[in-house]
């Protein structure tokens, strides 16, 4: 079945540091890929998405590129802020769009 | 548009009891999915409903059930509660199922504690 692998963390960074959260996936067919973010006490919000190979999703300074050859969708941000502290989930949507599979989530802590 | 709403937000139940959680999707969204979120397991897919029909189901025991009404509102029921059912239950709604990169909109969740 489909699966998504990401580090659980926590990842602790100083403000303005560079962020990378790795995400790799296993899927039959050609899935769409997502990053969701969950702030404390809230539900998940879509951060960015990509639907085909070499697509780059971007939002709020975050970026991720759909790499089919390495089955990866790593999340990056050049300069993190304290307000970016949250849990980040990598996810994929199968070809039938009927099911979304999530990674375990990576907790990010940004300290001033 | 109002977002996805879930009621109640917090719930405390005793082992053996049953519980019903409610989810109201964004207006116009016909697909509703349910997830269980726990610290050790992350987000686990429970089931999805579209136009009152269950379209997909995760690997949960039959104690977990759901339904969807004609107005797209959905309920999830857990019978014979166990301590391990303590979790945050998230509901997500989305639009037409044939759109690529189907984005899901999540509610704030219902925090269920079983004692």
Inter-chain residue contact A32 with B100, CB threshold 8 Å: yes
Determine the Cα–Cα distance for residues B113 and B115; give it in Å rounded to an integer.
6
DSSP-derived pairing of the beta strands A23-26 and B19-24 = unpaired
- Bridge partners (DSSP) listed for residue A59: A62
Q: Do B107 and A105 touch (CB under 8 A)?
A: no
Beta-bridged to residue A21, according to DSSP, are A75
Average pLDDT over residues B65-73: 96
For residues B36 and B46, the answer to whether their CB atoms sit within 8 Å is: yes
pLDDT for B32: 93
CB distance A110 to B48 below 8 Å: no
What is the pLDDT averaged over residues B86-115?
A: 85
Q: Is the pLDDT of residue A65 over 90?
A: yes
Among chain B residues, the shortest Cα distance to A88 is held by B42
Residue A53 near residue A112 (C-beta atoms within 8 A): no
- Please tell me the predicted confidence (pLDDT) of residue A9: 84
Q: What are the beta bridge partners of residue B67?
A: B75
Partners of A106 in beta bridges:
A88
pLDDT over 60 (residue B48): yes
Q: How many residues does chain A have?
A: 112
Average pLDDT, chain A: 92
- Spatial separation of the C-alpha atoms in residues B23 and B12, rounded to whole Å: 18
Q: Select the more confidently predicted residue: B94 or B91.
A: B91
For residues B64 and B75, the answer to whether their CB atoms sit within 8 Å is: no
How many angstroms separate the CA of residue A60 from the nearest CA in chain B? Answer: 17
A79-93, B11-25, B93-107, range with the lowest pLDDT: B93-107
Q: How confident is residue A97, by pLDDT bands cut at 50, 70 and 90?
A: low
* Contacting residues of A for B105, CB less than 8 Å apart: 46
Instruction: For residue A96, name the pLDDT band (cuts at 50, 70, 90).
Output: low
Average pLDDT of the segment spanning A29-35:
89
Chain B residues touching residue A105 (CB < 8 angstroms): 42-43
State which residue of chain B sits closest to A105, comparing Cα positions. Answer: B42
Contact: A42, B33; criterion CB under 8 Å = no
How high is the pLDDT of residue B92? Answer: 93
Quick one: pLDDT at residue B97?
A: 61
């Amino acid at each position: 079945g489909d699966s998504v692998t990401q580090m659980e963390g926590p990842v602790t960074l100083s403000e303005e540091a560079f962020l990378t959260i790795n995400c790799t996936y296993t899927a039959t067919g050609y899935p769409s890929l997502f990053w969701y973010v969950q702030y404390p006490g809230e539900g998940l919000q879509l951060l960015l998405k990509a639907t085909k190979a070499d697509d780059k999703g971007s939002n709020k300074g975050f970026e991720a590129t759909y790499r089919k050859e390495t089955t990866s969708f790593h999340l990056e941000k050049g300069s993190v802020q304290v307000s970016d502290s949250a849990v980040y989930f990598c996810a994929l949507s199968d070809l039938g769009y009927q099911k979304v599979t999530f990674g375990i989530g990576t907790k990010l802590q940004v300290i001033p | 548009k109002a977002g996805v709403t879930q009621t109640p937000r917090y719930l405390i139940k005793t082992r053996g009891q049953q519980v019903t959680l409610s989810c109201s999707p964004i207006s116009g969204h016909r697909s509703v999915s349910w997830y269980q979120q726990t610290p050790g397991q992350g987000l686990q897919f429970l089931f999805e409903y579209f136009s009152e029909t269950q379209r997909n189901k995760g690997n949960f025991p039959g104690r977990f059930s759901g339904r969807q009404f004609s107005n797209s509102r959905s309920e999830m029921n857990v019978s014979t509660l166990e301590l391990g059912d303590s979790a945050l239950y998230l509901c997500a709604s989305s639009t037409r199922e044939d759109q690529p990169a189907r984005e899901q909109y999540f509610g704030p969740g219902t925090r269920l504690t079983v004692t």
